[in-house]
Chains A and B, each alone.
Chain A
Amino acid sequence: MSGFTGFVLRRVVGVLITLLAISVIIYVVFYVTPGNVAQITCGPRCSPAQVQQVADQLRLDDPLYVRYWHFLEGLVAGQDYSTGTAVQHCPAPCLGLSYQSDQQVTQLILTKLPVSLSLVFGSMVIWLILGVGTGVLSAWRRGRLTERVLTGITLVGVATPVFVIGLVLMIVVCGELELLPFPQYVKLTDDPEQWAWNLLLPWLSLALIEAAAFARLTRSSMLETLAEDHIRTFRAYGVGERSVIWRHALRGAFAPVIALNANNVGSAVGGAVLTETLFGLPGIGRELVHAVDVVDLPVVVGMVLVVGFFVVIANALADVLYAVADRRVVLA
């Protein structure tokens, strides 16, 4: 298994390098924006003294690379911010201070992250079951009525915006049928049952759209696998169709599904803005949009980094899963 361990190690190194590259780009892009960075960061209502304090804390007099190095240092070791009279300690991983909301960026993200992760991972379970199931079924029943109906539904799913599905779900389930109360975020640690009930509709509306993409992908890669020689072998040996489909054909469709899933989970952590907004979930996506809106630079940098982190980690994880599913990958 040394080949496999080596493969995982290489992936980890790759992740670190990618993250470093992302951080450089984000940092440079945001802090080289035109205009007075201290003024922008501090917000429009800041007094000149406050702006000067921000400029000091951001070390705007230092060259860019020194500032970046300092930023990395804060990430690894934490940082102290002096306000002249008092010292505020920002523990590692420190992503800086949000002067506009008067919070540490790390703290801000930590309050939003569980919401986004709850939404995305819960939804993922649903979209995988729904999407892969539909895909398998429509590959199996190719050319029959079942497939046409399923293809139609997934087409509608791909084409419908999340706010339409979400709104319809809310109106029907909460408004008309009154099966559920209108969703309101409850922490998993406070009340797991309420957490799940309240997230059910957001999960569904995000999952329905994602599931459509997975259904199409699963269907096409299943059909590809079904046309391969080894499927013919098992049919020629009297292995039943059920076994051929679930054991052999689906296995071949795993790899692309894993890859797409990693990509979608990673980007949904910061990108499920519409769902979060619609259901009033205080997640990363909404906060990011807000931060961009008011140009809260430290928050934007921190959040983009965290989202990037999730995308990269998810993809690296996918590569490893990929290799577990198909050992030939390790050799390549």
Chain B
Amino acid sequence: MGLVEVTGLTVGFGELRAVDGLSFRLARGAALALVGESGSGKSTVASALLGLHRGTGAYVGGSVVVAGTDVQEASDDELRRLRGARAAMVFQDPLSSLDPYYAIGDQIAEVYRVHTRASRRAARARAVEVLDRVGIPDAVRRSRSRPHEFSGGMRQRALIAMALACEPDLLIADEPTTALDVTVQAQILDLLHTLREETGMGLLLVTHDVGVAAGSVDEILVMRHGRVVEHGPVATVLGAPAHPYTRELLGAVPRVDAPRVDVSGGKVLGVDVSGAAAAGSASSVGVSGALPLTAKDTPPVAATGEVVLEAVGLRREFGRGKRAFAAVDDVSLTVHRGETLGIVGESGSGKTTLGRMLVGLLEPTAGRISPGGGVRPDVQMVFQDPVSSLNPRRSVGESIADPLRARGERDEGGIRERVRELLERVGLEGAHYDRYPHEFSGGQRQRVGIARALAADPRVIVCDEPVSALDVTTQAQVVALLGELRRELGLALVFVAHDLAVVRQVSDRVAVMRGGRIVEYGPVDEVYESPRNPYTRQLLAAVPALDPAVAAARRATRRAARQQLAAV
């Protein structure tokens, strides 16, 4: 009898079949990843394992047996005894997944007391114990903190601690690291790995990120439209995918360890350097680091193309008096025609603030940008969230026409014609003018956002995390579109992102930011192949590898580094 036995699982919400006849089995102590894009039904499966659909009106068919409990047949009480005690779940967003009003230790203690007859005091002690176990420093004191006083990584550790409290046989992790920075992600994945080694619990990992799965599990199950596409040992599925969809999925994943290449015949990632060169705009981006050390170490990058955007000594402070802090501190950079400058950093590194200053949405506290002066029509922006950055009550055509109207364009026929052109330019149809944002998919909405940025005939487009809200295959298409536009229109792109692999795929030059400063810059391959700055090295080591063997090697390196650090 396995730990999890799922046979012919079908989950329907009204007309929609989210999961359709899914079967799999997980042995005790084994680890399986459910991998798929959004809407593939992977999270629905995770919820079904704990019977969380009960009472929601969803239709659930087939059989689910977890740790000896038949989830479909079990009474409410039996189900409660399974949840948290024998199978515990770790959720994606650790902030919203914890009650904001209670101390973290109290929340863990509450769960513990539900499943044991422990006294309040014993439960509280258990909470401290598991918090300590997941690496929360000073666990006694920190157990009295509320979730908002924890950092993102610590919150996720706290949720994992809650899961550990009753020593479950199965841990279900639903996108456990999606909301986290890459270095923190590596820590959390390493923690899960160690816990599994020590406790022998089974792991069901739900993720959209093949890289995350590669280093963490023994088996992978690729899902699409609620069905199994491919299921097998991780090395086989990733090394020699049998199904075309798996191949497509893997092909679309940007690799941090590979130089920029055209995947699948230049269709997916059509960002090649030769195009820019052929257009007669061979150029480069020079970035001078804020740290004098790196600035001296690195020879200045020869700038050839026309400078379209230059920032010198940019600084931006938030808050006043004692609470003032500099989100961006002494950053200088130049962007040349036809070039892509990647700006990469973790949350809080100041990359978004920098991007907003470049567009003119934020006034720098110090330093200058040229060409300067308020909002610059020749610098446009593409935003991260294609849903919230479009007005839901206006047609996409109207949204795209905004920059034209702002420029003083009054001829309605001319505006319509131009918008139609722009829509076609970004791969949509001219007839989409009168449609509303909700009628489009995420990728299409991001295309609308790009069309709007193009409307003002900019010379530079600053893209702030333009693909991080998109599925990997859609992401590849949008990245390809941006590259195409750059090549054909001679645009310069500033590509702000946290995803090191995507930045490598699109950029000519890259600037690595940390704490408001640029710690390393240079040609993208140089920075990625031989990083000088220890922080860059740390970032790169934290990126999940697609090859399980490489992932294991990196984990060993990280572990050694930690032990070394602890020994000092």
B558 interface residue, CB < 8 Å from A?
no
**Identity of the chain B residue whose Cβ is nearest the Cβ of A247 in the assembled complex:** B110
Q: A232-B52, A232-B91, A328-B148 are in contact. Are A238 and B99 (CB under 8 A)?
A: no
CA distance A228 to B100 in the complex (A): 11
**Identity of the chain B residue whose Cβ is nearest the Cβ of A241 in the assembled complex:** B76
Interface mask (A227-249 → B, CB under 8 Å = 1, otherwise 0)? 01110111111111001000110
A187 interface residue, CB < 8 Å from B?
no
A252 interface residue, CB < 8 Å from B?
yes
Q: Which of B50, B52, B97, B98 has the most CB of A within 10 A?
A: B97
CA distance A239 to B115 in the complex (A): 9
Q: A236-B52, A239-B114 are in contact. Are A251 and B84 (CB under 8 A)?
A: no
Number of interface residues, chain B, beta carbon within 8 A: 28
Question: Does A251 lie within 8 Å of B99, measured CB to CB?
Answer: yes
Interface residues of A in 247-274 (CB under 8 A from B): 247-248, 251-252
A178 interface residue, CB < 8 Å from B?
no
**Identity of the chain B residue whose Cβ is nearest the Cβ of A233 in the assembled complex:** B97
CA distance A240 to B79 in the complex (A): 11
Interface mask (B143-183 → A, CB under 8 Å = 1, otherwise 0)? 00010100000000001001000000000000000000000
Chain B residues near A290: list those with CB within 8 A: none
Q: A230-B96, A232-B52, A327-B146 are in contact. Are A238 and B114 (CB under 8 A)?
A: yes
Interface mask (B82-109 → A, CB under 8 Å = 1, otherwise 0)? 1111001101010011111110000000
Compute the total of residue contacts between A and B using a CB distance below 8 Å: 74
A325 interface residue, CB < 8 Å from B?
yes
B541 interface residue, CB < 8 Å from A?
no
Chain B residues near A229: list those with CB within 8 A: 91, 93, 96-97
CA distance A142 to B400 in the complex (A): 43
Q: A327-B146, A328-B148 are in contact. Are A237 and B97 (CB under 8 A)?
A: no
A80 interface residue, CB < 8 Å from B?
no
Chain B residues near A251: list those with CB within 8 A: 99, 101-102
CA distance A232 to B92 in the complex (A): 12
Q: A229-B91, A232-B52, A243-B110 are in contact. Are A238 and B100 (CB under 8 A)?
A: no
Question: Does A237 lie within 8 Å of B100, measured CB to CB?
Answer: no
A326 interface residue, CB < 8 Å from B?
yes
CA distance A248 to B100 in the complex (A): 9
Q: A229-B91, A230-B96, A232-B52 are in contact. Are A238 and B81 (CB under 8 A)?
A: yes
**Identity of the chain A residue whose Cβ is nearest the Cβ of B87 in the assembled complex:** A236
B416 interface residue, CB < 8 Å from A?
no
Question: Does B111 lie within 8 Å of A230, measured CB to CB?
Answer: no
Q: How far is the CB of B165 from chain A (nearest CB, A)?
A: 9
Q: A232-B91, A243-B110, A328-B148 are in contact. Are A237 and B96 (CB under 8 A)?
A: no
Among B83, B101, B102, B146, point to the contact of A237 (Cβ < 8 A).
Answer: B83
Q: How far is the CB of A144 from chain B (nearest CB, A)?
A: 12
CA distance A108 to B83 in the complex (A): 64
CA distance A238 to B88 in the complex (A): 9
Chain B residues near A328: list those with CB within 8 A: 100, 146, 148
Question: Does A240 lie within 8 Å of B89, measured CB to CB?
Answer: no
Interface residues of B in 506-565 (CB under 8 A from A): none
Question: Does B114 lie within 8 Å of A230, measured CB to CB?
Answer: no
B376 interface residue, CB < 8 Å from A?
no
Q: How far is the CB of B65 from chain A (nearest CB, A)?
A: 17
Chain A residues near B96: list those with CB within 8 A: 228-230
Among B85, B93, B101, B111, point to the contact of A234 (Cβ < 8 A).
Answer: B111
Chain A residues near B114: list those with CB within 8 A: 237-240, 243
Chain A residues near B356: list those with CB within 8 A: none
Question: Does B80 lie within 8 Å of A230, measured CB to CB?
Answer: no
Interface mask (A295-328 → B, CB under 8 Å = 1, otherwise 0)? 0000000000000000000000000000001111
Interface residues of B (CB under 8 A from A): 50, 52, 79-85, 88-89, 91, 93, 96-102, 110-111, 114-115, 146, 148, 159, 162
23 inter-chain pairs at a CB distance below 8 angstroms, sorted by A residue, are A230-B98, A230-B99, A230-B100, A233-B91, A233-B97, A233-B99, A234-B99, A236-B52, A236-B91, A237-B114, A237-B162, A238-B79, A238-B81, A238-B111, A239-B80, A239-B110, A239-B111, A239-B114, A247-B110, A248-B99, A251-B99, A326-B101, A327-B146
Name the 3 nearest CB pairs between A and B, nearest first. Answer: A237-B84, A238-B83, A229-B96
Known: A230-B100, A239-B111. 14 other contacts (CB 8 A): A230-B99, A234-B111, A235-B52, A236-B50, A236-B88, A237-B111, A239-B110, A243-B114, A251-B102, A325-B101, A326-B100, A326-B101, A327-B146, A328-B146
